[in-house]
Amino acid sequence: MRTPVIAGNWKMNKGPKEAAELIEELKPLVQDARATVVVCVPAVDFSAAREALAGSQIKLGAQNVHYMPSGAFTGELSAGMLKEAGVEYVIIGHSERRQYFGETDETVNLRVKAAVEAGLVPIICVGEKKEQREAGYTNALVTYQTLIALSGLTAQQVGQVIIAYEPVWAIGTGLTATDEQANETIGVIRQAVRAAYGQQAADQVRIQYGGSMNPKNVRGLMAQSEIDGGLIGGASLKAADFAQVVHFE
């Protein structure tokens, strides 16, 4: 049995004071959660968030990582820096990073390897645009993205990462893939892992749905056989909403 992971992606929201307040509100609401709960906060919130999370089961995550350990990369953070700041999880390859900041499948792979080597758990985002789905390319695209992202990892390492299927057309739009669409595509991703890394890695790797999961649709999505949690955007910014997603049963 794979333990579900519900990870909140706060994106560019909440300063340190607001971050601490939200976490303090969230802690009692998810203290008995059966899922692993992660909050991926802006970098300026790491210190305040780590202090607020002390003594709770909620894990601290970041929203990006650079693939070099140090150097002349203004504005970037290395995996070692994240680790020292108390971060345990890191989102890599989010569609917004790909769209607005030029990240590619190849740089996603470099970031994944850097994160794994530093002992961080990457949450690797893959997914198609609306026109790609309509053209019938979804399965081929997510298979390609997944295999490139995981290139260079061992089967054991692959079993420990998290993959988030996020149909780009459902990010921040309120649109959601049907339960069956999401489950089918996540099944395709798991099959790609199985073919490349074996049955054990495919059984172990946790694959989330990341397209506008919220309290209204979480139960149906989480009832699907292949879906192991969610990468939550807007609903993670309100403690009550996020807690409802965490308690999806």
Contacts of 230 (CB under 8 A, 6+ apart): 6, 7, 208, 209, 210, 213, 218, 221, 222, 245
Is there a catalytic annotation at residue 166? yes
Helix and strand totals (H; E) in the chain: 12, 8
Token pair 């790797």 is found at: 205
Choose the catalytic residue: 96, 103, 166, 226: 166
Cβ burial of 137 (10 Å; 0-12, 13-18, 19+) is: middle
Choose the catalytic residue: 94, 96, 103, 128: 94
Is there a catalytic annotation at residue 103? no
Q: How distant, in Å, are the alpha carbons of 36, 83, 112, 206, 247 from that of 230?
A: 11, 23, 19, 10, 12
**Diameter of the chain measured on Cα atoms:** 49
Residue closest to 239 by CA, chosen among 94, 58, 95: 58
Token pair 């910014």 is found at: 237
Contacts of 128 (CB under 8 A, 6+ apart): 137, 138, 141, 142, 167, 168, 169
Contacts of 173 (CB under 8 A, 6+ apart): 212
Q: How far apart are the first and last CA of the chain?
A: 16
By annotation, the residues acting in catalysis are 94, 166
